[in-house]
């Protein structure tokens, strides 16, 4: 009998111990996100979708009538984003709220909180609105990660490209449009622009840095509504002749970054295909010592800007716009935020060290990226706007299956296969909320391989 009682007591203690362990594992904390209106703004903030992302999990909630969204989440470090689009008079204003690296610890909401976030003791994440407007031209696709070699020996990383698209209903003149990257090159690298307050040093300064150099068109380029241009960022030749899964840039309609006097790295800049006219070569302005324009293959942060009231060369030569600072290794130019037309923030998939580089008015979110697999960052379809085009009836192709949710990536929630629909004669309207979390997904095959 004593043995039986002893066994029962042991089992009771065992299960109680397991319950305590489970309680610790599954313990959650209440996090309140408070969206704050812009100065003079009286529009309601009810029903705005808010997302908390930790890199391994994400949580969604909607705001109430006071602009608050309440979450129950486990301990972790979270990026917080929210977006609302308001249209009036043919112009869309985009309201973005963002807060990076909010450390939710076991002390969250108590006076003893020591996680570094100023609102941690109250349990409230307060976010101010940043306002931007949609533009005609947007970045439709970024392919920089490389493609697997046929012999399985790794990836060929010198077949990068970017696609610019006219998302509007009128022709778009690119004028002096420039292509730039934001530092640091990798989102997961140490970012010297973050201060002890956890904020980017240029936050609220009305500019962002363009590191090492940028490219610009040497001729006037116009993109018709619903059309695009391809810019080869390296080896503008038929790369499929050597690597079957790579990209064929041998096309007279394509553009390429080729200015051998400024950037002469032979791996990146072989002589372009003869079919590409020299007038389609983008020229470079360079203010660092690198021999190649080093866009990240793992977590690109790329943007386009229009140097209003000046030229690309004059802006590069203007010493007052040059940014140098102790501890910041590479020279940058201070690009005014009202010059920025579009930007895309890529994070390395499942890396806890990722940090935002763009301010919320340019890109309030991020899209996960994985290099070496032939994947690209591809913009999502605006389903409602695309289906509303009467001429698209019977031309849209559904059942999109090129997302990467199975590896922790993402997919296009519209379910529309944009490239197949375009081949079918449809006109696609892409998402443009200035939030890459909403606007982009990780595509399992670069779109130029669909050709």
Please report, for residues 24, 72, 106, 108, the alpha-carbon distance to residue 20 in angstroms, rounded to integers and kept in the order given: 6, 19, 16, 20
pLDDT digits (tens, 9 = 90+) for 376-396: 999 999 999 999 999 999 999
Tokens encoding 323: 């940014």
Closest CA to 138 of 196, 73, 94: 94
Identify the residue with better confidence: 21 or 354. Answer: 354
pLDDT digits (tens, 9 = 90+) for 57-90: 889 999 999 999 999 999 999 999 998 877 554 4
Tokens encoding 259: 């200015």
Query: 140 near 378, Cβ under 8 Å?
Result: yes
Looking at 92, 112, 133, the residue that finishes a domain is 133
Identify the residue with better confidence: 327 or 248. Answer: 248
Q: For residue 414, is it within any domain?
A: no
For residues 89 and 45, state if they share a domain.
yes
For residues 305 and 362, state if they share a domain.
yes
Residue 26 is predicted with a pLDDT of 64
**Residue range(s) defining the domain that contains residue 49:** 2-133
Gap between the Cα atoms of 251 and 248, Å rounded: 8
Looking at 133, 163, 193, the residue that finishes a domain is 133
Gap between the Cα atoms of 125 and 98, Å rounded: 10
Residue 386 is predicted with a pLDDT of 96
Residue 38 is predicted with a pLDDT of 82
Least confident of 3-7, 22-26, 169-173: 3-7
For residues 314 and 446, state if they share a domain.
yes
Q: For residue 407, is it within any domain?
A: no
Query: 451 near 254, Cβ under 8 Å?
Result: no
Say which DSSP state 434 is in.
S
Give 92's pLDDT tier (boundaries 50, 70, 90): low
Closest CA to 235 of 212, 258, 262, 210: 258
pLDDT digits (tens, 9 = 90+) for 113-167: 999 898 999 999 999 998 877 778 999 999 999 999 999 999 999 999 999 999 9
pTM: 0.78
Residue 17 is predicted with a pLDDT of 45
Residue 87 is predicted with a pLDDT of 57
Q: For residue 401, is it within any domain?
A: no
Given a cut of 80, whether residue 247 has pLDDT beyond it is yes
For residues 109 and 232, state if they share a domain.
no
Looking at 133, 152, 177, the residue that finishes a domain is 133
Q: What is the mean pLDDT of residues 302-321?
A: 96
Q: For residue 348, is it within any domain?
A: yes
Q: For residue 61, is it within any domain?
A: yes
76-78-82 Cα angle (round to 5): 150
Residue 387 is predicted with a pLDDT of 97
Tokens 């006109």 -> residue:
427
For residues 187 and 63, state if they share a domain.
no
Q: For residue 370, is it within any domain?
A: yes
Q: Look at strands 124-128 and 29-36 and give their pairing.
A: parallel
What's the per-residue H, E or C state across 48-100? CEEEEECCCCEEEEECCCCCEEEEEECCEEEEEEEEEEEEECCEEEEEEEEEE
For residues 439 and 314, state if they share a domain.
yes
Tokens encoding 223: 């993109």
Average pLDDT, the chain: 91
Closest CA to 86 of 383, 356, 434, 363: 434
Gap between the Cα atoms of 445 and 451, Å rounded: 11
For residues 266 and 314, state if they share a domain.
yes
Q: Which residues contact 202 (CB under 8 A, 6 or more apart)?
A: 193, 208, 209, 334, 359
For residues 146 and 278, state if they share a domain.
yes
For residues 224 and 90, state if they share a domain.
no
Phi first, then psi: what are they for 68, rounded to 5°? -105, 140
Q: For residue 146, is it within any domain?
A: yes
Closest CA to 141 of 302, 364, 372, 358: 302
Given a cut of 80, whether residue 168 has pLDDT beyond it is yes
Residue 127's CATH number? 2.60.40.10
% pLDDT > 70, the chain: 92
Q: For residue 238, is it within any domain?
A: yes
Least confident of 41-45, 347-351, 443-447: 41-45
Domain count, the chain: 2
For residues 192 and 175, state if they share a domain.
yes
pLDDT digits (tens, 9 = 90+) for 208-218: 999 999 999 99
For residues 239 and 351, state if they share a domain.
yes
For residues 78 and 190, state if they share a domain.
no
């Amino acid at each position: 009998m004593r043995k039986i009682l002893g066994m029962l007591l042991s089992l009771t203690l065992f299960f109680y111990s397991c319950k305590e362990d489970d309680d610790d594992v599954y313990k959650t904390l209440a996090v309140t996100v408070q969206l704050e209106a812009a100065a003079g703004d009286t529009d309601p903030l009810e029903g705005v979708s808010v997302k908390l992302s930790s890199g391994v999990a994400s949580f969604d909630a909607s705001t109430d009538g006071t602009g608050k969204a309440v979450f129950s989440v486990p301990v972790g470090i979270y990026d917080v984003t929210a977006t609302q689009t308001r249209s009036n008079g043919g112009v869309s204003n985009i309201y973005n709220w963002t807060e990076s690296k909010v450390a939710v610890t076991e002390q969250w909401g108590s006076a003893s909180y020591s996680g570094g976030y100023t609102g941690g003791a109250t349990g409230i994440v307060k976010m101010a609105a940043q306002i931007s407007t949609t533009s005609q031209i947007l970045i439709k696709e970024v392919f920089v990660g490389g493609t697997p070699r046929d012999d399985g020996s790794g990836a060929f990383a010198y077949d990068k490209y970017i696609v610019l698209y006219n998302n509007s209903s009128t022709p778009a003149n690119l004028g002096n449009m420039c292509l730039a990257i934001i530092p640091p090159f990798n989102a997961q690298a140490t970012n010297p622009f973050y201060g002890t307050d956890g904020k980017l040093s240029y936050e609220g300064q009305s500019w962002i840095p363009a590191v090492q150099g940028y490219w610009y068109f040497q001729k006037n380029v116009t993109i018709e509504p619903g059309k695009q241009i391809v810019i080869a960022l390296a080896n503008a030749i038929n790369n499929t002749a050597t690597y079957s899964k790579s990209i064929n840039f041998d096309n007279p309609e394509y553009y390429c970054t080729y200015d051998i006097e400024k950037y002469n790295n032979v791996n990146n800049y072989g002589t372009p295909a003869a079919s590409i006219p020299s007038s389609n070569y983008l020229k470079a302005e360079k203010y660092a010592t690198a021999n190649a324009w080093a866009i990240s293959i793992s977590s690109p942060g790329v943007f386009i800007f229009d140097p209003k009231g000046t030229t690309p060369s004059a802006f590069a030569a203007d010493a007052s716009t040059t940014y140098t600072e102790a501890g910041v290794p590479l020279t940058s130019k201070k690009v005014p935020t009202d010059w920025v037309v579009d930007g895309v923030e890529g994070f390395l998939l499942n890396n806890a060290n990722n940090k935002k580089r763009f301010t919320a008015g340019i890109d309030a979110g991020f899209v996960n990226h994985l290099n070496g697999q032939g994947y690209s960052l591809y913009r999502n379809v605006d389903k409602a706007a695309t289906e509303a085009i009467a001429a698209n009836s019977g031309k849209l192709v559904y059942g999109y299956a090129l997302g990467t949710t199975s590896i922790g990536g993402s997919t296009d929630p519209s379910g529309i296969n944009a490239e197949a629909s375009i081949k079918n004669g449809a006109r696609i309207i892409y998402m443009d909320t200035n939030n890459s979390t909403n606007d982009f997904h990780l595509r399992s095959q670069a779109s130029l391989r669909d050709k």
